[in-house]
Structure 1
Amino acid sequence: MLRLIIALIVIVGIWAAMAHLRRLPEKQRKSLLWRMLAWGGGLGLILLVATGRAHWLFAVLGAMLPLAKMLLGVGLQLFPLWKQRQKTASSSSPPSGPMSAREAMDTLGLKGEESRLTRDEIIAAHRKLMQKLHPDRGGNDYLAAKVNEAKALLIKRLG
């Protein structure tokens, strides 16, 4: 009788969870489904260990999987920093020498004549490039310095 009640509770719980999942947006649904599967697997593992059907080491290894996933994520986030450290100092420093107006326009991706440029066009082109090339967003120091130098030169020439 106890098994029947537990089975009935599990079936009602699964039915309620599925009804709730159907109402959520796709991204939240996927996230919640993975969390539910992880919790269900963990509870099932605990039940197997408690009833003597699985060795306790198996449960410990299963409990370590989320920790391994988190450590892998942290490692992947730190990998670009490690790779950047491997670069030589000479490749990260911008070259010396003045930049021409044409080179500055090419750097910012601006077309046409220098005399027809407006301050707003220069700033918009600079902002667009810096969103992609900033060192905090995965770019490098050299490209960011070139883009900044091009913006400063063109704005200075505008007057």
Structure 2
Amino acid sequence: MGVLTLLIAAVAIWLIWTGKLQRMTAKDGMALGVALVGAVLAAKGKPVIGAPLLIGAALFFAKQGNRKAKAKARKRPAAPVAPPLADDVARARALLGVTLDADANAIRAAHRRLIASVHPDKGGTEALAAQINAARDLLLDEHMQP
């Protein structure tokens, strides 16, 4: 087989290995197949048939790249994050069991102590661990603000 065929096959294997083909559509798969067939035909000495297939696949992927770039440009900017409400902070303090005057070290210590008992690896639930982590993050963010 030709070097071009082996190169295209290597790229396809690399795409599978890295997981980039998980987002591939059926049209993308067909274009990749056409490119492989074109490379095989060109390698077997039939460039008149293989070259148009390769060029067509390259144009298809170039067009797809332009569509994705335009779609990213059209996306709206993220909405601004609202400041935490006082009752959210109060719930976070109650969950971690810290007082109003607790500093960052006390918040981290309370988090460490609580997460050790409810961590999913210790038989706890992921949802509760996520709530505890969110409470810690909220209190540390609130503590860092003036």
Q: TM-score range by the shorter chain?
A: 0.3 to 0.5
TM-score (norm 2): 0.36
